[in-house]
Amino acid sequence: MTFDTLQDEAQELLPGAVELRRDLHRHPEVGNDLPRTRDRILEELDDLGLELTLHEQTSGIAALLAGARPGPTILLRADMDALPMPEHTGLDFASERDDTMHACGHDTHVAMLSGAARLLAGRRAELTGRVLFMFQPGEEGHHGARFMLEEGLLDVPPLPDGTPSPVEAAAALHITSALPTGYVSTRRGPIMASSDTLRIVVTGAGGHASEPHRALDPVPVACEIVQAIQTMVTRQVDVFDPTVVTVASIHAGTTTNVIPDECEILGTIRAVSELTRLRVHDSLKRVAEGVAAAHGAGAEVEILHGYPVTVNDDDFATFAASVTEDLIGEDRTVLLPNPVMGAEDFSYVLHRLPGAMLFLGGTPEGTDPRTAPSNHSTRVFFEEDAMIPGIALYSALALRHLGVA
C-alpha cells in the first residue's frame, strides 16, 4: 500500500484541525496544569473509541488506539502548552489571555495529532498493532514528558489475550518557521541540544564607590569571568562536538555610588553530547572559581540540569526520512547536517525508546523562512495548510511502522 490518499484524507480533516488550533490559540495555558486544553482535547477524541488514561501529576493524556490485529505499539507525541509572553500578531484569533501565547506552535501539534488520531481510527480495521497518542503538557521548561514517563506512560496494558505489546518506537513533529511550508527535516543522531541553567554568584566586599581600593568589587571580577567563559568554550571544547554558553543576565548593586557585596551571573548551557555537557559543567566551575580567587573574591557556581540531548535513533530516523520521501517527495525532505541548539523534553522519551523528532515547515506563503518571525517570537505565525502534511505524516509513520503501508 502507498500513501496516495493520505494527504487527501488529511485535507478533509483540515477544517476541524483549524477550528481546534484556533480555539487553543485563543485560550493558551502554561506549564503542566492545562485544564481547559485537556478538556478540549478530550472533547475532540470522544467519539474515536480510544482507551484514555488521564495523568494525575499533570494534564497529560495517553490515548491508545487498538488495531484489528495484534502487533507492536508506536507512540506519537504532541506537546500542548503555551509560553508566558505577549502576542503581537494581530490575528483575529490571537490570544485572549494577557502575556500568554502559543508562540511555538504547540496548538498546531495538538490539532495535527488529533487529526491523525481520527484518520487512523478510521483505518482501525487495517492496523496490525496499536498507536499510543501522547498529549503532553509542560514542554516549555516544565519537564512534562518526564512526569508522564514517571507516571507510567509506557506501561500499556497487554492485548486482550494477555500477549504483551510494549511500545517499540516513538515519533514527534515540531512545526517551525525556519522551513518552507510542507517541507520536513530530520537527521540521524543528536538533533537538539541539552539545556542547563547556569548561576554564578561572585562575592566580594562592598564599600563606597569613590574608594574601590578599600572594597573588593565583584563587578569587574564577574565581567572577567564572562570573558573567560567564552575563551574556555573556544579553546577547550571540540568544535565538532560544540557547546554554547550564553550569559544572559548580570545583576549587581542598587545605586551609583555603592560597590555591592555580590554580583549574580545567569545564563544557559547547550551541548549536543552528554560527554561535552558534563565536561563543560566542570570547566565552568573551575574557571569561575579560579578567576574569582585570582582577585581574592569568591564564586559559587550552581548548574541546574535541564533537558538532556535529544538523540534520534539512527535506524528510526532513516525510516522516518524514507516515509517522508514517499509521502511528500524527496525534494521536500531535508536531512539536517547539524543539530539545532534548542532543547526538547521529547529527549526523555527518546532515552527510553528508539524514535525520532522531525521538523515540519510552516512558513506563511510569501514569507522567506530566513527572515520570518521565529518560534518564540511575539509575531510568529504558522501557515495552517502545513497541518495537512503534518496530519498525514503522523499517520504515515504509524501505518508503515505497523506494517500497513
Mean pLDDT of the chain: 96
Same domain, 22 and 141: yes
What pLDDT score was predicted for residue 352? 97
CATH of the domain at 279: 3.30.70.360
What pLDDT score was predicted for residue 405? 65
pLDDT at 1 over 60: no
Same domain, 50 and 134: yes
Residue 368 forms part of a structural domain: yes
CATH of the domain at 173: 3.40.630.10
Same domain, 15 and 83: yes
Same domain, 165 and 58: yes
pTM: 0.94
What pLDDT score was predicted for residue 386? 97
Same domain, 135 and 280: no
Rounded to whole angstroms, the Cα distance separating 59 from 62 reads: 10
Same domain, 270 and 332: no
| Domain hosting residue 361, numbered range | 6-192+309-401
Select from 268, 286, 307 the last residue of a domain.
Answer: 307
Same domain, 75 and 221: no
> 70-106 pLDDT, tens per residue?
989 999 999 999 999 999 999 999 999 999 999 999 9
Same domain, 303 and 313: no
Compute the average pLDDT of residues 189-203: 98
What pLDDT score was predicted for residue 357? 98
Same domain, 108 and 72: yes
Backbone CA torsion sign across 364, 370, 371, 375: positive
Measured in whole angstroms, how far is the alpha carbon of residue 91 from the centre of its chain?
A: 24
Select from 307, 331, 351 the last residue of a domain.
Answer: 307
Rounded to whole angstroms, the Cα distance separating 374 from 103 reads: 9
Residue 1 forms part of a structural domain: no
Select from 307, 341, 358 the last residue of a domain.
Answer: 307
What pLDDT score was predicted for residue 2? 64
Compute the average pLDDT of residues 230-256: 96
3-state DSSP call for residue 130? strand
Same domain, 23 and 80: yes
How many domains, the chain? Answer: 2
DSSP state of 323: H
> 294-323 pLDDT, tens per residue?
999 999 999 999 999 999 999 999 999 999
Residue 116 forms part of a structural domain: yes
Measured in whole angstroms, how far is the alpha carbon of residue 350 from the centre of its chain?
A: 12
Compute the average pLDDT of residues 354-381: 95
Same domain, 296 and 203: yes
Among residues 12, 151, 289, 384, the one annotated as catalytic is 384
Grid cell 502559543 — which residue? 102
DSSP state of 122: T
Residue 303 forms part of a structural domain: yes
pLDDT at 221 over 90: yes
Sheet with 298-307: strands ordered across = 243-252, 262-271, 194-203, 298-307
Same domain, 297 and 315: no
Q: Is 29 a catalytic residue?
A: no
Among residues 183, 307, 348, 394, the one annotated as catalytic is 307
User: Treating both helix axes as pointing N-terminal to C-terminal, what angle do 6-26 and 106-121 enclose, rounded to 10 degrees?
Assistant: 140
Task: Find the helix or strand (DSSP H, E) in which 395 lies.
Answer: helix 387-401
Q: Is 307 a catalytic residue?
A: yes
**Radius of gyration of the chain, Cα coordinates, nearest whole angstrom:** 24
